[in-house]
Every structure is written in C-alpha cells, then in structure tokens.
Amino acid sequence: MNLKEITKQNYLSNLNNNQKEAIINPDGPCLIVAGAGSGKTKVLTTRVVHIIKEKKAWPNQILCVTFTNKAAREMQNRITKFLNQKINSLPWLGTFHSVSAKLLRRHAEAVGLNSRFTIIDQDDQLRLIKNICKAENIDIKKISPQFVLSFINQWKNKGLLPKDVTLRKGIPLEKAILNVYKFYQERLKILNSCDFGDLILLCVSMFENNPDILELYLNNFKYILVDEYQDSNYIQSKWLNLLAKKNNNICCVGDDDQSIYSWRGAEIKNFLDFGKIYKNTKIIKLEQNYRSTQNILSAASGLIAKNNDRLGKKLWTDSKDGELVKLTCYKNGKEEAIGISDIIEQKLKKKYSLNNISILVRAIFQTREFEERFLKIGMGYRVVGGTKFYERAEIKDSIAFLRIVNQKNDDLAFERIVNVPKRSVGDSAIKQLHSWARKNKKSLEDSAIELLQLNKIKPKTKLGLVKILNMFNKWRNDLKQKKHYELMEIILDESGYSKMLKDKKDLESEGRLENLKELIRGMHDFDNLQGFLEHVALATSIDQDWDGQKVNLMTMHAAKGLEFDAVFLPGWEEGLFPHQKSLEEKGDLALEEERRLAYVGLTRAKKESFISFVMNRMYRGDWVDSLASRFIEELPEKNIEKKELKEQNSEDFFFNQDIDYNEGIRSPGWARLQKRKLKRIK
C-alpha cells in the first residue's frame, strides 16, 4: 500500500508526512526522533493501530513498553478507541517493570522463585538492608541503609548481580556494600521476593540462561515499540536487545534533547547509538511542533544547539511567531517573586486561566519565596509533584524544635522531635510520658523531668531524654544572645538533624538540606522568633485549596510531558542553573544535561515564556552576588526581549557578562568579584 492509499485510512487523517512515514513502514528497526510537542504519543499509538489493521500481527504479538503507568493507560485508551475494542486489547502493553513482572510470574522457577513472589517497596528494602548491616556489624551511622541501597540500585541498573561487580579503587566502602548486596539478594530469594530493580535484571538473567524461554517470546513478539527511549538505562536496553534480536522489528520513540534523568540511571548513549546497535536503522525526525509559538521554539532550538551529544533537529510550527521570550533581571529573590506575581496578576489572569500558568524551578527549595508571595496576595497555587514548603517533613521538624524552645509546654512539638534523630525515646517511653502528664496535669517536658528525678525511666531511654532536655535549656539560653536564624543553624547542628540527612547521601536528603538552608534564609525577613513562628502558623492554617484557579509550582524535571499557556523560569544563575554540584560531579556531561533541562523548561510554554535571574541571593545569611546563567548568553538575540534592571547602584550589571566559561566552572559571582577587585586597585 502506497502513501496515497494509506492516507485514505481514517486513523491516518490529520497527520503530517513525517508522522505518516513513521507509521506505515513498521518493519525493521526504526528510531523516531520526536521533538517537543510533535505528537509522538499519537504516532506511537497510530503505528500500533496500523500494524493491527494491516494484519501484520495480532494484538498479543505486539510488545509496547512505556516508562509510566499513566503513559501506558493513555496509550491503551487511545488504541482501544481506534480499534473499537474492549479494554486490555493489548495484553503486552505496560511499563518495563509491569511487563517484566508478568514474564517472571510465568517462569518464576527459572530464577529460583515461585509464581507467588512478592515485590517489595523501598521501605521494605531499607528495613532488610538495616537488618543485614546489624547482623554483619556494619555501623549504619557511618554507612546508612539509604546509601547502601543507592549503590545496589546503580549496580542493578547496570545489569550487575553481586558476582558481576568489580570493586573500584579509591572507594573503600564498596567492599562492605558489596557484601551487604550478596546477603540482600540471598535474603530476597529466601523470602520469595524481589525488588523493582530485580524485575528487569532477573528477566535478562532468565533469557540468557534459558534459551528455550527466550525463543518462546522471540517467536511471539513480532513488533516491539518503546516510548521515551532516551530515558532507558543499560539493563532496560539489554532487555530490549534480547527480545528484538530475531525479528528486529523494534521502534523506539524519544527525544535526545529531553534526556534529563541520568541521576536515575538513564543513559543517553542508548538513544544516540541506536543505529549502531540495530543495523539498517531508519531514523525519522518529527520536527513540526503543535504546541508552542515560533519564537519560543527558536529560542529553545538555539540554546540546545550548543550541545554536542545529540542527533540534531530544528523545531518549527505553522502557528504565528508569537511573543518574544521575556528576559528580566531582578534585584533579589524576593523582588523576583513579587515581579512574577505582578505579571501573573496584572497581565495574564485576564488572558489565561491560572491553571494554565506554571512557574518552573531548578530546585524545589526555590518555591518558598513564591509561596510566601502568593499567600500574602491571596493567589491560589499548587505545588505539583511535591509538598508545599511549610508542610515538608524537614521544615515541620525544624519548626517543632523552635516551638519547643519558644514555649516549653508545646507538647505537640515535643512529641514530634524528642526522638528525631533517634535517641532511644520510643513509643513506650512516649506513652509513659503521656500517662504521667495526664495524671499530674503537666506538660510532656515537665513530666520527663519529674520521671527522671524519680528514676522511673529506663537507662537507655534516660540517656536520650537527658541529652535532649539539656539541649532545650541550652538553646533557650542561646536565644537570649543570638538571632533566631543563628539559633536555627545551631539547633540543626547540635541536634544531629543535619548530620542525619548528610549521612544518608541520597538525592532526596540533599534536597531536604537545601530546603533547610532556604528556611534559614527566610527567617532573616523576621525581627524575632515569635514573629516568624506566628507567620508560619498563619501560613499553614490558611485554606490554600481555594475553589477555582491555581498557579502551578514545580521543578523542571516534574514538568516534562506537560504544557501551559505561560511559563515562568526563575533563578537562571550560575551555580543554581546550571547547578554547581552537578557540574562539579560530572563536568561537561552534566552541563549538557542541564542545558537539556533548560530546553525542556522553555518548550513547556505554548504562548509566552518568561526567564529571570537576580543580582543577589541570600545564602546562609549572607548576600551573595549572582552571575547570570551561561544559558542566557546562548539564547538567540532575535527571539529575546530584555528588560534591564534600572536602579541606583546597579551600574555593574549587564546582560552580556564577559565570562570565559572554558576557564573552568566558577562559583556564582566569581567573575563580578574579580572585576570589583580590579576597580578597587585602579
């Protein structure tokens, strides 16, 4: 059937020529490079429909893999609608993990399990690792279970069972962690369990060690389709290679310019080397965008063109040029939040629904200043993919410390933090304190003091209670001499709370530490502790679930796959974006991923995009000069409208800062500091 004949099919209507080409020739390996907003999901689902309509395969002979359950459901619903069939018309459509679980249950004995095996979650994983560490006399204060788990997950993503791991020089802890990994896998087998990493890893192991089982599925799966292939890791790619090696009819859809999950194990190499892995690969580029204006697309394309590791494409649209991308410099973070909220209120609220407006940040701690502003002006907002700032566990813990220092009768605060971090004050001790408090009409703190004096507390618990009560008294004395934000730093240090998070050495804990830094920054806006605590109480008590419209607050990572009429991108400063820690750890590879993240942020906007940065930010109680992100310099001038900061004492600011980034990765404000030094010398 030729292109003219095929376009007569109703399911192929309203498709451009590149989309049709990606659909009508399903045989052989194919890589569909789908730019942002180019209709990749539509192409993938229509390709499945075409295979079935043309009777190239039965539905149960098609393997269709996604990365999320949401994407799988969306594809299933679209295909069902096209085919006019019942739900579950495609039995082998699902995530990598769900399909692998289905395969393992059919052949569990081949990997030493039975078909009723349990899939454990992260809490169970950590509990199991903790027990193994105790049995092996490994100090979990030095090597946290979270840290061990991160290593195990990395090994599994790379397809390494304990016997396959080669220890690296210069990492002394690896030997101990590998030992835990061995016991961990043995224990899982005894429990007839596996974790999420095992689902794919054990599948690969099963196929490699049981050619007859592999042959069964090689004969069954005539076509394989994969969504968001740029997010695949090593073991997922190997899983696909094994299942595709007979028919070679594998089609992967994705966008190398939106590969932003290396921290989760994703390897862009899989996408870039697809043509090397599968011979005679057809590469089809979907470059027509159906989401954004041309100015937004040109700005994003000009920026991402600076990356080297990409196949290359240029997005275009039939729609109008639209508004230029707005670029604004603000004096500081507070002014940035005020400025953005003013734009939303004065201009956009009349034009767009608040639901179609989003603020995309590089790091979640950045939401605080916007939340404070929205609370003040009564504008509805939601934090997408996260928790509102003052509702985050680490923030509530920190404020509980402050509350008990401020008011010793605050039993709720006392109960929340008396055993955080762990100091052997368990549930039974808390019950004992509550019982005494009710009987004697005392606060929990006073009850603890009296029970200690009467020697009614168990020895181990006694040590923990005495320690925390002494700290409460010390901090109350400190408050008489120190600022409330200085006290917060002291509390986080002396309580062991900061150390607890640092010892975990995972991304979540790093994010929590950043939130604590942001909390301390925010405390500078208040004259005293009482004023700050009152502000927090009011902020958290306000009904924030207003009926009607809400501005969306989220990270750029969380925004992938979403779209909004207007998008605000604050905090484009060196050190924050691109993120300094990422650059220090992975250098140029991280820089390219950070640039891809900027590209993702820009291409979420349908009509208007606003980029901003500040001259100064508060960092650990000190004002630090900020340097505009290098990404700003990489934006095409013709697609940008600059708004210079016009204030006194701002003469040292300019957009085109003469910085040679090839000299190495500099901290925020480094270059400006050097310039000021030269001025003083002259």
* Residues designated as active site: 40-41, 227-228, 258, 604
Q: How far apart are the first and last CA of the chain?
A: 78
Helices 234-244 and 211-220: crossing angle in degrees, nearest 10, is: 70
How far is it, in rounded angstroms, from Cα 239 to Cα 260? 22
Coil, strand, or helix at residue 119?
Answer: strand
Phi then psi for 552, rounded to 5 degrees?
Answer: -95, 125
Give exposure, 501-539, as e/b (b: 16+ Cβ within 10 Å): bebbeeeebebbbbbbbbbbbbbeebeebeebbebbeeb
Which runs of consecutive H residues, i.e. helices, occur in 158-254? 173-190, 196-209, 211-220, 234-244
Do 475 and 488 touch, CB atoms closer than 8 A?
no
Find how far residue 264's CA is from the centre of its chain.
Answer: 9
Q: Is the dihedral of CA 64, 69, 70, 74 positive or negative?
A: positive
The neighbouring-strand residues paired with 579 are: 575, 576
Residue 330, token pair as written in the block: 């603000």
Residue 403, token pair as written in the block: 């509350």
Strand runs (DSSP E) across 347-479, as ranges?
357-361, 381-383
Phi then psi for 561, rounded to 5 degrees?
Answer: 90, -10
CB neighbour list of residue 134: distance below 8 Å, 6 or more residues apart: 140
Do 294 and 43 touch, CB atoms closer than 8 A?
no
**Among 533, 575, 559, 541, which Cα is nearest to 665's?**
575
How far is it, in rounded angstroms, from Cα 344 to Cα 568? 10
Rounded to 5°, angle at Cα 509 from 508 and 514: 100
Which residue type sits at 297? Answer: L
Do 222 and 57 touch, CB atoms closer than 8 A?
yes
Phi-psi region of 418 (alpha: psi -120 to 50; beta: other; left: phi over 0): alpha
